[in-house]
Protein backbone atom coordinates (compact mmCIF):
# COMPACT_ATOMS: atom_id res chain seq x y z
CA UNK A 1 0.00 0.00 0.00
CA UNK A 2 1.24 3.51 -0.79
CA UNK A 3 1.17 6.26 1.80
CA UNK A 4 -1.75 7.91 -0.03
CA UNK A 5 -3.74 4.69 -0.04
CA UNK A 6 -3.15 4.41 3.71
CA UNK A 7 -3.86 8.02 4.63
CA UNK A 8 -7.18 8.22 2.81
CA UNK A 9 -8.62 5.25 4.72
CA UNK A 10 -9.81 7.27 7.71
CA UNK A 11 -9.94 10.94 8.74
CA UNK A 12 -8.04 10.32 11.98
CA UNK A 13 -4.89 8.31 12.67
CA UNK A 14 -4.83 7.38 16.38
CA UNK A 15 -1.43 8.04 17.96
CA UNK A 16 -0.96 5.27 20.51
CA UNK A 17 1.33 4.99 23.52
CA UNK A 18 0.97 1.47 24.90
CA UNK A 19 2.54 0.28 28.16
CA UNK A 20 1.22 -3.27 28.27
CA UNK A 21 1.44 -5.77 25.41
CA UNK A 22 -1.83 -7.29 26.60
CA UNK A 23 -3.61 -4.03 25.73
CA UNK A 24 -2.43 -3.96 22.10
CA UNK A 25 -4.97 -6.26 20.48
CA UNK A 26 -8.12 -5.15 22.35
CA UNK A 27 -7.16 -1.51 21.82
CA UNK A 28 -6.63 -2.00 18.09
CA UNK A 29 -9.88 -3.97 17.78
CA UNK A 30 -11.83 -1.19 19.51
CA UNK A 31 -10.39 1.44 17.18
CA UNK A 32 -11.00 -0.64 14.06
CA UNK A 33 -14.55 -1.42 15.24
CA UNK A 34 -15.10 2.32 15.59
CA UNK A 35 -13.97 2.91 12.02
CA UNK A 36 -10.33 3.93 12.53
CA UNK A 37 -8.29 1.30 10.73
CA UNK A 38 -4.96 3.13 10.38
CA UNK A 39 -3.02 2.94 13.65
CA UNK A 40 0.25 4.56 14.73
CA UNK A 41 1.99 2.83 17.63
CA UNK A 42 4.70 5.11 18.95
CA UNK A 43 8.15 3.82 19.84
CA UNK A 44 7.90 5.38 23.28
CA UNK A 45 7.56 2.29 25.43
CA UNK A 46 9.75 -0.81 25.56
CA UNK A 47 6.87 -3.00 24.37
CA UNK A 48 5.98 -0.91 21.31
CA UNK A 49 7.43 -3.24 18.67
CA UNK A 50 5.89 -6.28 20.37
CA UNK A 51 2.53 -4.47 20.27
CA UNK A 52 2.97 -3.77 16.56
CA UNK A 53 3.68 -7.42 15.86
CA UNK A 54 0.62 -8.55 17.84
CA UNK A 55 -1.65 -6.11 16.03
CA UNK A 56 -0.30 -7.13 12.61
CA UNK A 57 -0.83 -10.80 13.41
CA UNK A 58 -4.16 -10.64 15.21
CA UNK A 59 -6.24 -7.62 14.23
CA UNK A 60 -8.09 -8.06 10.98
CA UNK A 61 -8.63 -4.85 9.05
CA UNK A 62 -5.94 -2.86 10.87
CA UNK A 63 -3.26 -1.02 8.91
CA UNK A 64 -0.50 -0.97 11.47
CA UNK A 65 2.20 1.69 11.44
CA UNK A 66 4.95 2.79 13.78
CA UNK A 67 5.42 6.30 15.11
CA UNK A 68 8.27 8.19 16.74
CA UNK A 69 10.65 6.56 14.26
CA UNK A 70 13.82 8.62 14.64
CA UNK A 71 16.49 6.73 12.65
CA UNK A 72 16.93 4.89 9.38
CA UNK A 73 17.74 1.76 11.38
CA UNK A 74 14.40 1.97 13.17
CA UNK A 75 12.67 2.44 9.83
CA UNK A 76 14.36 -0.71 8.53
CA UNK A 77 13.29 -2.60 11.64
CA UNK A 78 9.68 -1.53 10.98
CA UNK A 79 9.94 -2.86 7.44
CA UNK A 80 11.40 -6.10 8.74
CA UNK A 81 8.42 -6.83 10.99
CA UNK A 82 5.91 -5.95 8.29
CA UNK A 83 4.66 -2.55 9.44
CA UNK A 84 2.59 -0.80 6.77
CA UNK A 85 4.14 2.63 7.34
CA UNK A 86 6.26 4.76 9.66
CA UNK A 87 5.81 8.25 11.07
CA UNK A 88 8.60 10.49 12.30
CA UNK A 89 8.38 13.78 14.19
CA UNK A 90 11.02 15.19 11.81
CA UNK A 91 13.08 14.41 8.72
CA UNK A 92 15.36 11.39 9.09
CA UNK A 93 18.79 12.18 7.63
CA UNK A 94 19.69 10.09 4.58
CA UNK A 95 16.32 8.32 4.58
CA UNK A 96 14.64 9.12 1.25
CA UNK A 97 11.00 8.64 0.29
CA UNK A 98 11.73 5.40 -1.58
CA UNK A 99 13.05 3.65 1.54
CA UNK A 100 12.14 0.19 2.83
CA UNK A 101 8.66 1.15 4.09
CA UNK A 102 6.52 4.27 3.43
CA UNK A 103 7.46 7.08 5.82
CA UNK A 104 5.48 10.17 6.79
CA UNK A 105 8.11 12.63 8.03
CA UNK A 106 7.36 15.57 10.28
CA UNK A 107 7.96 19.17 9.27
CA UNK A 108 7.28 22.48 10.97
CA UNK A 109 8.77 25.07 8.60
CA UNK A 110 9.13 25.93 4.92
CA UNK A 111 12.82 25.04 5.00
CA UNK A 112 12.08 21.59 6.42
CA UNK A 113 9.41 21.10 3.77
CA UNK A 114 11.95 21.93 1.07
CA UNK A 115 14.44 19.48 2.56
CA UNK A 116 11.70 16.83 2.60
CA UNK A 117 10.75 17.51 -1.01
CA UNK A 118 14.43 17.15 -1.94
CA UNK A 119 14.37 13.68 -0.35
CA UNK A 120 11.37 12.80 -2.54
CA UNK A 121 8.59 13.22 0.01
CA UNK A 122 5.28 14.90 -0.80
CA UNK A 123 3.28 13.79 2.26
CA UNK A 124 4.17 15.27 5.63
CA UNK A 125 3.11 15.28 9.23
CA UNK A 126 2.82 18.93 10.33
CA UNK A 127 4.27 18.65 13.82
CA UNK A 128 3.59 19.90 16.39
CA UNK A 129 0.65 21.22 14.40
CA UNK A 130 -0.75 23.63 16.98
CA UNK A 131 2.69 25.12 17.68
CA UNK A 132 3.90 25.13 14.06
CA UNK A 133 1.21 27.53 12.95
CA UNK A 134 -1.75 25.18 12.70
CA UNK A 135 -4.40 26.02 10.16
CA UNK A 136 -2.78 29.33 9.17
CA UNK A 137 0.52 27.61 8.39
CA UNK A 138 -1.21 24.96 6.26
CA UNK A 139 -3.05 27.68 4.32
CA UNK A 140 0.24 29.54 3.80
CA UNK A 141 2.03 26.37 2.61
CA UNK A 142 -0.69 25.60 0.03
CA UNK A 143 0.43 27.98 -2.71
CA UNK A 144 4.27 27.62 -2.69
CA UNK A 145 4.08 23.87 -1.96
CA UNK A 146 1.14 22.84 -4.14
CA UNK A 147 2.29 19.22 -4.32
CA UNK A 148 2.49 18.74 -0.55
CA UNK A 149 -0.30 17.15 1.51
CA UNK A 150 -0.39 16.98 5.29
CA UNK A 151 -1.45 14.98 8.29
CA UNK A 152 -1.39 17.62 11.06
CA UNK A 153 -0.65 16.08 14.44
CA UNK A 154 0.07 17.49 17.88
CA UNK A 155 -2.68 19.45 19.60
CA UNK A 156 -5.34 18.16 17.22
CA UNK A 157 -8.47 17.03 19.05
CA UNK A 158 -12.19 16.43 18.75
CA UNK A 159 -12.86 20.16 18.83
CA UNK A 160 -10.51 21.34 16.07
CA UNK A 161 -10.10 18.23 13.86
CA UNK A 162 -12.93 19.22 11.51
CA UNK A 163 -11.32 22.61 10.85
CA UNK A 164 -8.05 20.93 9.85
CA UNK A 165 -9.88 18.38 7.71
CA UNK A 166 -11.64 21.17 5.82
CA UNK A 167 -8.32 22.31 4.31
CA UNK A 168 -7.66 21.08 0.75
CA UNK A 169 -4.03 20.19 1.50
CA UNK A 170 -4.91 18.02 4.51
CA UNK A 171 -5.47 14.29 3.92
CA UNK A 172 -6.14 13.25 7.50
CA UNK A 173 -5.15 14.26 11.03
CA UNK A 174 -3.34 12.39 13.79
CA UNK A 175 -3.97 12.49 17.50
CA UNK A 176 -4.00 10.70 20.80
CA UNK A 177 -7.43 11.90 21.94
CA UNK A 178 -9.19 8.78 20.62
CA UNK A 179 -7.21 6.52 22.96
CA UNK A 180 -6.90 8.35 26.28
CA UNK A 181 -4.25 6.87 28.56
CA UNK A 182 -6.73 6.43 31.42
CA UNK A 183 -9.17 4.55 29.19
CA UNK A 184 -6.41 2.22 27.97
CA UNK A 185 -5.24 1.60 31.55
CA UNK A 186 -8.81 0.85 32.62
CA UNK A 187 -9.41 -1.42 29.63
CA UNK A 188 -12.41 0.74 28.71
CA UNK A 189 -12.57 -0.45 25.11
CA UNK A 190 -16.21 0.62 24.75
CA UNK A 191 -15.26 4.23 25.44
CA UNK A 192 -12.41 4.03 22.94
CA UNK A 193 -14.68 2.48 20.29
CA UNK A 194 -17.14 5.32 20.87
CA UNK A 195 -14.41 7.96 20.52
CA UNK A 196 -13.29 6.22 17.34
CA UNK A 197 -16.84 6.22 15.96
CA UNK A 198 -17.09 9.96 16.54
CA UNK A 199 -13.70 10.56 14.93
CA UNK A 200 -14.37 8.32 11.94
CA UNK A 201 -17.60 10.22 11.26
CA UNK A 202 -15.61 13.40 10.56
CA UNK A 203 -15.61 14.37 6.90
CA UNK A 204 -12.39 13.41 5.13
CA UNK A 205 -11.27 15.63 2.26
CA UNK A 206 -11.45 14.20 -1.24
CA UNK A 207 -8.84 11.52 -1.91
CA UNK A 208 -5.41 12.99 -2.48
CA UNK A 209 -3.85 12.42 -5.89
CA UNK A 210 -1.91 9.18 -5.91
CA UNK A 211 1.84 9.26 -5.61
CA UNK A 212 4.24 8.76 -8.43
Footprint of ligand 3PG on this chain (CB under 6 A)?
15, 127, 153-156, 175-177
Q: How many residues does the chain have?
A: 212
Nearer to ligand 3PG, 109 or 210 (CB): 109
Q: Is 139 a catalytic residue?
A: no
Least distance between ligand 3PG and beta carbon 101 (Å):
18
Nearer to ligand 3PG, 46 or 212 (CB): 46
Cβ distance 153 to 171 under 8 Å? no
Task: State the sign of the Cα–Cα–Cα–Cα dihedral 22, 26, 31, 37.
Answer: positive
DSSP output for 69-100: --SHHHHHHHHHTT-SEEE-SSPPTT--TTSS
Least distance between ligand 3PG and beta carbon 178 (Å):
9
How far is it, in rounded angstroms, from Cα 121 to Cα 64? 20
Nearer to ligand 3PG, 67 or 206 (CB): 67
Among 40, 53, 60, 139, the active-site one is 40
Among 53, 122, 125, 185, the active-site one is 125
DSSP state of 47: T
Nearer to ligand 3PG, 133 or 155 (CB): 155
**Interior angle at CA 13, CA 1 and CA 53, nearest 5:** 65
How far is it, in rounded angstroms, from Cα 66 to Cα 41? 5
How far is it, in rounded angstroms, from Cα 195 to Cα 54? 22
Q: Is 159 a catalytic residue?
A: no
Nearer to ligand 3PG, 63 or 132 (CB): 132
For the chain, how are helix, strand and coil distributed in percent, rounded to 5?
Answer: 35, 15, 45
> Which residues are annotated as catalytic?
40, 125
Amino acid sequence: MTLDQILVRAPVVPVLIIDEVADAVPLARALVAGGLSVLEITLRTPVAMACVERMIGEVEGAVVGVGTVLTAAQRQACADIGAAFCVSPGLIADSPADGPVPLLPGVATATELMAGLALGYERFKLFPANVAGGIDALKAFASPFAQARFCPTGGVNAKNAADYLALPNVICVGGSWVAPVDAVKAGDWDRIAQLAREASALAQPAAAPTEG
